[in-house]
């Protein structure tokens, strides 16, 4: 049995990252001594035709395993059509976040033989056993397939991995040097790699992947396992910075202390994401002193009416001290916002503007997007005139530029103007621009730039990298010098 692991391209090229999901699947396959090949079309920005040529020069695999996001649906469909045409005897299985879509929708648009919903480390082995005649289709957890009569059958969602440390990524099995990047927004001058220290999130914000799940238990990787990976990557690939993709990095204070101490011992800088209410003064000091360079904090909306709808459960009044403390650190802190949630009005946007100007932070905003299998999607489903068309459109979405469905009573064009004006106002406020004439000129320039980026720039990697470069190299130093 030979398996070809494939990571499709995303809509926007700009970001460099290692596809962790396929890394964990590769671990499960390697433990069973199953031969694999690895094809990262996003990293190589590879055309489907080039993938076919590459595989044609090798022995055709028995199984193609694609891990895809909803935002890569179009390219995933193209890949599967080509694989079926050129390698008709090979089977295809599709997993990753795209599997939350209805199986009928996926089978209608993507020529895959199977879908695995949920965590795939155990399920992929069970599927291979099925292909080898060792078990029946209904015995493969998380599997969706067509039976002999052509009817779609689904085994539900695969059970969660109890101990995630059972499936470490074997970095030696990958050309991992290709993913050690100095071009990340989190750490633009240090060799960096993205990782997970834990899976899951204990919260259930309506827009999030976890919003409809009953089990919110956080599952952490063993510290020894992480240290082994860090030591290998430092010694063999010069790693000096880790970008943690954990949803919330600071949930467990004791584990945070242990992880930070281990990183500090290895002189590894890092970046992470968390919530304002999952911090305190000691944690903020610990993060800074341990080498945290970039901290992402999702506020979404300071307006109480919107926060209640999105179930953020974030009391900003109680978190004001954390905001004040964070602004005094050397860390680059990204206070993230979303605009256009259900319940958003011009009044709530004014509340957001007051919060941003009062705290002198830059308004970094994504547009709220309703993804399938979230509470937000259920909430706004009736606003989507053509659900099929909407789901397909999600594969061409850049959340910092696109607003696929209007969840508000504000015309979309006006919402764009309000958002652009708020970003410009926040930057000028942070930079303490007080001269009215200069304010007017710079405000117009900022808005024009944002309009350009939304319409054209964010669809081109070079513009996105320039945008990130300006944020880190120009905007942040200006902000620091103005404080």
DSSP code, position 90: S
Query: Among 27-41, 108-122, 214-228, 452-466, which stretch is predicted with the lowest mean pLDDT?
Result: 452-466
Q: Where are the beta strands (DSSP E) in 72-116?
A: 91-95, 114-116
pLDDT at 462: 60
Q: Angle 80-104-397 (CA atoms, 0-180°, nearest 5)?
A: 65
Percent of the chain exceeding pLDDT 90 equals 70
Q: Which residue has the higher pLDDT, 113 or 449?
A: 113
pLDDT tens, position by position, 367-414: 899 999 899 999 999 999 999 999 988 887 776 678 889 999 999 999
Residue 353, CB-side half-sphere exposure with 13 Å CA sphere? 16
pLDDT at 446: 85
Which residues contact residue 91 at a Cβ distance below 8 angstroms, ignoring those fewer than 6 apart? 62, 63, 64, 113, 114, 131
Residue 110, CB-side half-sphere exposure with 13 Å CA sphere? 30
pLDDT tens, position by position, 232-279: 999 999 999 999 999 999 999 999 999 999 999 999 999 999 999 999
Which residues contact residue 102 at a Cβ distance below 8 angstroms, ignoring those fewer than 6 apart? 372
pLDDT tens, position by position, 42-87: 999 999 999 999 999 888 999 999 999 998 899 999 999 999 999 9
Distance of alpha carbon 200 from alpha carbon 390, whole angstroms? 27
Distance of alpha carbon 186 from alpha carbon 181, whole angstroms? 11
Domains of the chain by start residue, with CATH: 2-154 (3.40.50.280), 180-482 (3.80.30.20)
Which residues contact residue 282 at a Cβ distance below 8 angstroms, ignoring those fewer than 6 apart? 253
Kindly give the residue spans of alpha helices, DSSP state H, lying in 188-331. 223-237, 253-265, 281-290, 304-309, 316-327
Cβ atoms 269, 241 nearer than 8 A:
yes
Q: Is the pTM of this model over 0.95?
A: no
Q: Which residue is listed with tokens 């200006």?
A: 478
Cβ atoms 342, 408 nearer than 8 A:
yes
Distance of alpha carbon 471 from alpha carbon 71, whole angstroms? 25
pLDDT tens, position by position, 87-132: 999 999 999 999 999 999 999 999 999 999 999 999 999 999 999 9
Residue 331's Cα: distance from chain center in Å? 21
Q: Read off the pLDDT band of 20 (50, 70, 90).
A: very high
Q: Which residue has the higher pLDDT, 181 or 195?
A: 195
Residue 219, classified by CB atoms within 10 Å of its CB into exposed (0-12), middle (13-18) or buried (19+), is middle
């Amino acid at each position: 049995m030979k398996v070809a692991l494939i990571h499709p391209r995303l809509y926007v090229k700009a970001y460099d990252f290692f596809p962790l999901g396929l890394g964990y699947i590769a671990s499960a396959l390697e433990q069973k001594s199953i031969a694999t090949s690895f094809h990262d079309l996003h990293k190589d920005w590879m055309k489907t035709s080039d993938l076919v040529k590459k595989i044609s020069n090798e022995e055709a695999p028995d199984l193609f395993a694609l891990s895809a996001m909803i935002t890569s649906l179009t390219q995933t469909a193209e890949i599967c059509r080509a694989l079926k045409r050129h390698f008709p005897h090979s089977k295809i299985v599709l997993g990753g976040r795209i599997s939350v879509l209805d199986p009928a929708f996926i089978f209608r648009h993507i020529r895959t033989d199977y879908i695995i919903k949920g965590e795939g480390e155990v399920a992929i082995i069970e599927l291979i056993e099925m292909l080898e005649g060792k078990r029946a289709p209904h015995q493969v957890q998380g599997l969706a397939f067509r039976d002999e009569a052509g009817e779609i059958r689904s085994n539900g969602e695969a059970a969660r991995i109890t101990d995630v440390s059972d499936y470490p990524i074997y970095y030696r099995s990958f050309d991992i040097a290709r993913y050690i990047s100095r071009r990340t927004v989190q750490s633009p001058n240090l060799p960096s790699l993205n990782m997970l220290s834990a899976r899951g999130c204990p919260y259930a914000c309506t827009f999030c992947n976890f919003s409809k799940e009953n089990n919110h238990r956080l599952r952490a990787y063993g510290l020894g396992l992480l240290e082994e990976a860090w030591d290998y990557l430092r010694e063999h690939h010069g790693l000096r910075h880790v970008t943690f993709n954990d949803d919330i990095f600071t949930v467990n204070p004791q584990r945070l202390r242990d992880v930070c101490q281990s990183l500090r011992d290895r002189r590894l800088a890092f970046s992470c994401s968390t919530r304002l209410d999952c911090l305190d003064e000691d944690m903020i000091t610990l993060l800074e002193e341990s080498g945290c360079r970039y901290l992402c904090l999702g506020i979404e909306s300071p307006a109480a009416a919107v926060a209640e709808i999105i179930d953020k459960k974030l009391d900003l009044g109680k978190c004001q001290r954390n905001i004040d403390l964070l602004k005094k650190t050397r860390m680059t802190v990204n206070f993230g916002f979303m605009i256009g949630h259900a319940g958003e009005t011009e009044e709530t946007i004014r509340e957001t503007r007051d919060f941003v100007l009062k705290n002198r932070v830059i308004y970094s905003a994504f547009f709220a997007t309703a993804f399938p299998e979230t509470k937000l999607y259920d909430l706004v489903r009736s606003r989507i005139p053509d659900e099929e068309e909407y789901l397909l459109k999600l594969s061409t979405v850049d959340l910092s530029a696109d607003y696929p469905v209007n969840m508000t009573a504000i015309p979309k064009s006006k919402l764009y103007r309000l958002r652009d004006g708020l970003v410009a106002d926040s930057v000028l406020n942070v930079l303490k621009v007080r001269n009215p004439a200069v304010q007017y000129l710079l405000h117009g320039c900022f808005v024009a730039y944002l309009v350009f980026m939304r319409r054209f720039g964010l669809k081109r990697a070079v513009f996105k990298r320039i945008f990130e470069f300006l944020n880190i190299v120009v905007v942040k130093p200006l902000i620091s010098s103005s404080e």
